[in-house]
């Protein structure tokens, strides 16, 4: 890292917290270390949902923001209790605090850098992070300033990583076009894709067709949250607009009847759609009842291109290692299948072919299942 001021601001992961976990649950930790050392590809993580609790606390204190807890562990517990509500709308409430806390270039760079470092230390060999930069306009930051700070933070890490710019579905079509134009402006400087995020019901992807077209025509990768809280047909709607990847998309397994189900699956397979599934987040938002009954296993069995990601590490209290371990132990996905999922994630990356090939090589050579 070559930025002395950032160096001062950024702390290392909370090693004391980790050693407590290790001493309490030795066998569990041994298992976690197995997943931690495997080469993983993270495609779906929101920077404003992945702050280290101690960083969120520090940033709130710097900005004199009211915090619902006075220590990092209690703050993390509060975030997770709020997120684990069974409602996507309630899940999204915690972002009010994280976004307000990130409203400076320094904070954006710090959060981005720490997310990349956390992913690297967790064994990721490639990661894509995302955020809606225009959310910070309400706090006096321009979209350009946010994107530049996030890219500067990511660039400080040695992990190959890129930024996906999100537009928010509840915003007007003009606003999401503006977000897409912003993404296009930084295409060759670390922005690799465009996404539509936020509450899903009442805000179908087609409302933002122009934004998707703007980003697609600029040559950016297109992903879109769809079929998470709303019906499965939203997945194919997003694909028809140009999305090649779908955030979650698990409701594609909930067709009204077998004929519709096979038609949906045929289309998704035919298009080569890749599903960025985030199982724990799905349970927390109520999109899935439990990890045991999560449709991930069924999606794999149906021949869809699927991977696993964290979505929001702070809100859901997860890491990539824990997420993979959890779907193995609770959803019955084998380590060999998870290797295929990570290969699919690498294949679906919006980053360069050389970064993709390097990640694939790591997975092929180092994933022992
Ligand atoms: Zn998401």
What are the contacts of 65-72 at 24+ separation with CB within 8 A?
Answer: 65/97, 65/100, 65/101, 67/97, 72/14
What are 101-121's pLDDT values in tens digits? Answer: 999 999 999 999 999 999 999
The angle that helices 72-83 and 53-62 make with each other, rounded to 10 degrees, is 110
Judge whether 14 lies within some domain: no
Q: What percent of the chain has pLDDT over 70?
A: 91
* 26 lies in some domain: no
Ligand 1 centroid to Cα of residue 248, in Å, is: 8
Distance CA 166, CA 175 (A): 11
- How much distance in Å is there from the Cα of 131 to the middle of ligand 1? 9
Residue 13 lies in a domain: no
Cα 164 to Cα 46, 138, 172: the distances in Å are: 9, 20, 20
**Is the Cβ–Cβ distance between 285 and 86 less than 8 Å?**
yes
In the numeric block, which tokens belong to residue 44? 């779906």
The pair of structure tokens assigned to 364 is 């092929």
pLDDT surpasses 60 at 9: no
Confidence band for 31, pLDDT divided at 50, 70 and 90: low
- Cα of 2 vs centre of ligand 1, distance in Å, is 31
Domain count, the chain: 1
Average pLDDT over residues 287-293: 93
Identify whether 63 is part of a domain. yes
DSSP characters over 234-272: HHHHHHHHT-SEEEE-GGGG--SSHHHHHHHHHHHHHHT
Catalytic residues: 228
In a domain, 10, yes or no: no
3-class state of residue 327 by DSSP: helix
Rounded mean pLDDT, 246-264: 96
pLDDT score of 26 more than 80: no
Nearest to 137 by CA among 94, 169, 182, 92: 182
The mean per-residue pLDDT over the stretch 19-40 comes to 62
Tell how far CA 308 is from the center of its chain.
10
Radius of gyration over every alpha carbon of the chain, rounded to an integer in angstroms? 19
pLDDT of 244 strictly over 80: yes
Name the band, by pLDDT with cuts 50, 70 and 90, for residue 229. confident
Could you tell me the residue range of the domain that residue 63 belongs to? Answer: 39-353
Domain annotation covers residue 17: no
Output the CA 329–ligand 1 centroid distance in Å.
23
Assess if residue 102 is contained within a domain. yes
DSSP sequence for 155-216: HTSSS-EEEEEEEETTS-HHHHHHHHHHHHHTGGGTEEEEEEES--TT--GGGGHHHHHHHH
Determine the average pLDDT of the residues in 317-323. Answer: 95
Quick check: 224 pLDDT over 70? yes
pTM equals 0.91
Say which CATH number the domain at 134 has. 3.20.20.140
Decide which of 269 and 22 is more confident. Answer: 269
Q: Could you tell me the distance, in angstroms and rounded to a whole number, from the CA of residue 25 to the centre of ligand 1?
A: 30
What is the pLDDT, as a whole number, of residue 12? Answer: 37
Residue at 20 is within a domain: no
């Amino acid at each position: 890292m070559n930025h002395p001021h950032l160096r001062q601001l950024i702390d290392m992961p909370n090693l004391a917290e980790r050693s407590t976990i290790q001493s309490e649950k030795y066998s569990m930790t041994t298992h976690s270390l197995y997943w931690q050392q495997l080469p993983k590809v993270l495609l779906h993580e929101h920077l404003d949902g992945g702050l280290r609790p101690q960083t969120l606390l520090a940033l709130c204190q710097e900005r004199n923001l009211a915090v619902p807890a006075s220590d990092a562990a209690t703050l993390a517990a509060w975030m997770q209790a709020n997120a684990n509500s069974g409602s996507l709308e309630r899940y999204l409430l915690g972002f009010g605090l994280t976004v307000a806390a990130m409203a400076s270039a320094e904070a954006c760079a710090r959060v981005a850098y720490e997310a990349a470092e956390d992913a690297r230390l967790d064994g990721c060999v490639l990661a894509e992070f995302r955020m809606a930069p225009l959310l910070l306009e309400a706090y006096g930051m321009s979209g350009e300033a946010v994107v530049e700070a996030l890219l500067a933070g990511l660039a400080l890490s040695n992990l190959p990583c890129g930024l996906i710019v999100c537009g928010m579905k509840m915003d007007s079509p003009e606003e999401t076009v503006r977000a897409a134009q912003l993404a296009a402006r930084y295409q060759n400087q670390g922005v690799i894709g465009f996404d539509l995020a936020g509450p899903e019901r009442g805000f179908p992807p087609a409302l933002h067709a122009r934004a998707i077209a703007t980003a697609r025509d600029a040559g950016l990768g297109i992903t879109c949250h769809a079929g998470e809280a709303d019906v499965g047909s939203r997945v194919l709607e997003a694909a028809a607009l140009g999305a090649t990847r779908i955030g979650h998309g698990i409701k594609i397994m909930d067709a009204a009847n077998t004929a519709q189900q096979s038609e949906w699956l045929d289309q998704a397979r035919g298009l080569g759609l890749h599903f960025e599934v985030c199982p724990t987040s799905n349970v927390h938002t109520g999109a899935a009842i439990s990890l045991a009954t999560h449709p991930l296993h069924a999606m794999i069995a149906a021949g869809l291109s699927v991977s696993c990601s964290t979505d929001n590490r702070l809100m859901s209290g997860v890491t990539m290692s824990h997420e993979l371990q959890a779907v193995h132990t609770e959803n019955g996905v084998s380590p060999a299948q998870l290797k295929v999922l990570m290969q699919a994630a690498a294949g679906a990356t919006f980053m360069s072919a050389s970064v993709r090939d390097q990640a694939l090589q790591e997975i092929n050579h180092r994933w022992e299942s």
